[in-house]
Structure 1
Amino acid sequence: MKIKEIGEFGLIGRIASGFRDLIPNGWEGIGDDCAVIPWGDDRSLLVTTDLLVENVHFLRERISAYELGAKSLAVNLSDIAAMGGRPAATFLSLGLPPGTTDTKWCDAFFDGYRSFGVPLLGGDTTSSPEGIVINITVLGTAGNSHIKRRNAARPGDRIVVTGPLGDSAGGLQAILQRLPTDTDTEELIRRHHRPRPHLAEGEWLGAQEAVHAMMDVSDGVASDLLHILRASSLAATVTIGDIPVSPLLERTADKYGWDARKLALTGGEDYVLLLTVDPARFDELQANFRRQFGRRLHVIGECAAGAPEIVYRGEEGQSARLMGFNHF
């Protein structure tokens, strides 16, 4: 069997099944945004790691060293936010191809990396035969009662996101299609290169009992919501017209003939948070979130009993099957 036949998450499942019997009692391994390791009586250590490879995750000629340093860390910090935690420290392993970078590039990369103010405690550096390879591990902490997991969604829960979707995918389209440079395309590309992990929002939402399951949007809602549904053994309905899309993406999509909401559903790397919320407590959560962050949460659907699948509702009823990014 080829890896392509089972896909990225089928491969992860095969790896996880081979190590479940080795995980210490009380520890949590593969299956959420972070591993969870007990740390004292009422707190846990959160651990996440992510890999970025040149020409797979980024094009060096289109992203500055500063932006790459910041984005490399941002995508990892987002995993800590997704579980209601606070980042504490990072480790970085960096593979650099010979003759293609210099100390000026490295200095700019690390300026971007340190822009989030999270310590770098160690790692490794090596040469790479071709492209840049970046691997980061982040340690975070959270109170045990505040940790949010993918398997905690319940029937009837509102499905919610903390911000607009699709801007990063729009930026990627602008890069790949080599669109003419104007204010809108430049801003979409900036949002693709400089995602903002919702750290404050994640820690705050982690403390809210009304929030049940939570993760970040890295591969697109169409894929990421399925992770919650499979972990929680639920189905869901998503209303396409309720997917939040920025005016910036709407304008650019109209100009170049894109389907803005398809980009919003299937495009990855927005790094907003995706959560499910007790419907009886949503209005209170919404009001408190507005007071805390000055903007609203966006309801895009509802969980229901049933086999893990998403039914998309639009003006013409159920849409075609949608999937987010898959590496294999």
Structure 2
Amino acid sequence: MNFKNLVKEIQEFKGVSRKSSINNVISLLEESYNVSGDVVIEIGDDASAIDIGNNQVMLIAADGIWGDIMNVNPYWAGYCSVLVNVNDIAAMGGKPLAMVNIMSISNDEIYEDLLKGIKDGCLKFGVPMVGGHLHPDGEVDSLGVAIVGIAQKDKIITSFGAEVGDKVIVAIDLDGKPHEMFNLNWDTTYDKDSQLVRDQITAVQYLAEHDYIKSGKDISNPGILGTLEMLLETSKKGAIVNLEDIPRNETLGWADWLRSYPGSGFVFTADEDKCEYIREYLAKYSIEAAVVGEITDSNSLYLNYADEQAEIFNQDKNPVFIFR
């Protein structure tokens, strides 16, 4: 394997580069983020958390679906719109409650498949789609979904909590396959029993509520290392990761694997004495977790392979998204 080429592919990956515009949005909207005074975490996490009393928070997140997916496979776009939102709530250690959607349809031929995908996603994950808004005469086809969840206020997982010396854990369901039309979409849910898929969500909730996880994010479009870098940027920390310790389905090469979006996958940080329990507990639910590195007091994410080391991201030079 050419390590330098691998590093370049990760750094130039579209799933990484397209996150940079988030900083512009945040800079314009940050003043409005907590006008109520009830938001309990900083802006920039997988979901926001609003204090609703009784040591509970309401989690709120939203995701839009890439137009490329909408045009090629509207059914899968609908299904994934549910999956990505459920994972955002799971990554916070919460319980997903309900979703709403906004659809714009310019092509009536995709309408039925899109809705069927949404329905099947809701049935798979056990989370209802309770309403939304439709533009029946839109100029483009688009889909956005928002979700609410609930969690214990003092137990939520955030991406702000990584501390120097924490172990970095990558946890992924390896029992899957690339989607036939989207090779970087590592599908682990569609063919699985609904109960197992739901248990994977509640497993993370259990670990959060029993104080095993210090910080975390679900692995999304930037891939494994891009997602970890986002966590490092919000925590204002660095990390050193050993490539060969990352759990991988060996049917995929490293370049595709590190850029893949898994149906069930997370990056966590935890105290060293908690890591073995996390590994054993998640293994019960078809999620392989492994310690892959350590949090450092720097602003860089380094990747080790054999006797080589490369700086993948530097928060001053090439962040994924950075805001101070």
- TM class by shorter chain equals 0.7 to 0.9
Over the aligned positions, Cα root-mean-square deviation in angstroms equals 3.3
**1:42 counterpart = 2:42:** no
Structure 2 counterpart SS, 1:152: coil
Distance of 2:86 and 2:266 partners within structure 1: 12
Q: Which has the higher strand share?
A: 2
TM-score normalised by L of structure 1: 0.77
Indicate how the Cα distance of structure 1 residues 129 and 89 shifts in structure 2: closer, same or farther if over 3 A, else same: closer
What is the distance in 1 between the residues matched to 2:248 and 2:302? 20
In the alignment, does 2:201 pair up with 1:199?
A: yes
Counterpart CA distance in 2 for 1:199 and 1:294 is 12
**1:272 and 2:265 correspond:** yes
**Where do residues 304-315 of structure 1 align in structure 2 (5 Å cutoff)?**
304-306=296-298, 308-315=299-306
Q: Deviations over 1:130-176 (max 9, x none)?
A: 442111111100111220111111111111122157977x54xx647
Q: Alpha-carbon deviation of 1:87? A: 0.6
| Residue 51 of structure 1 pairs with residue 64 of structure 2 | yes
User: Equivalent of 1:231, from 231, 234, 237?
Assistant: 234
For 1:118, the aligned partner's letter is V
* Matched residue type, 2:46: D
CA distance in 1 between counterparts of 2:141 and 2:189 reads 16
CA distance in 1: counterparts of 2:94 and 2:288, whole angstroms: 21
> 1: distance between equivalents of 2:33 and 2:109?
42
Greater CA drift, 316-325 or 273-282? 316-325
| Pairing 1:244–2:247 present | yes
What SS class does the counterpart of residue 22 from structure 1 fall into? coil
1:145 aligns with 2:135: no
The structure carrying a bigger helix percent of its residues is 1
Counterpart of 2:71 in structure 1 is 60
Equivalent in the alignment of 2:216: 214
- 1:292-323 per-residue CA deviation (whole Å, 9 max, x = no partner) reads 436541222111222x2111100141136368
State the match for 2:105 in structure 1.
Answer: 96
Q: How far apart, in 2, do the equivalents of 1:15 and 1:72 lie?
A: 26
Distance 1:25 1:189 in 2: 36
* Cα pair distance change 1:101/1:264, threshold 3 Å: closer
* Offset, 1:224: 1.3
| Contact 1:53-1:131 within 8 A present in 2 as well | no
Q: Name the SS for the 2:211 alignment partner.
A: coil
Determine the C-alpha separation between the residues in 1 that align with 2:137 and 2:66.
11
Q: CA deviation at 1:191?
A: 1.7
User: 1 CA distance for matches of 2:175 and 2:306?
Assistant: 20
* Aligned residue-pair number: 293
Cα separation, partners in 2 of 1:119 and 1:320, compared to 1, 3 Å: same
Q: Tell me the TM-score normalised to structure 2 length.
A: 0.78
Distance 1:99 1:295 in 2: 39
Query: Which is further off, 204-213 or 260-269?
Result: 260-269
Residue 280 of structure 2: which of 277, 287, 290 is its match?
287
Within 2, Cα distance between the matches of 1:166 and 1:126?
A: 38
Structure 1, gaps ≥5 residues long: 177-184, 250-259
Q: What letter corresponds to residue 223 of structure 2 in structure 1?
A: G
Partner Cα distance (1:166, 1:227) in 2 = 26
1:300 to 287, 292, 298: 292
Name the CA distance, whole Å, in 1 between partners of 2:116 and 2:229: 37
Identity among equivalent pairs (%)? 19
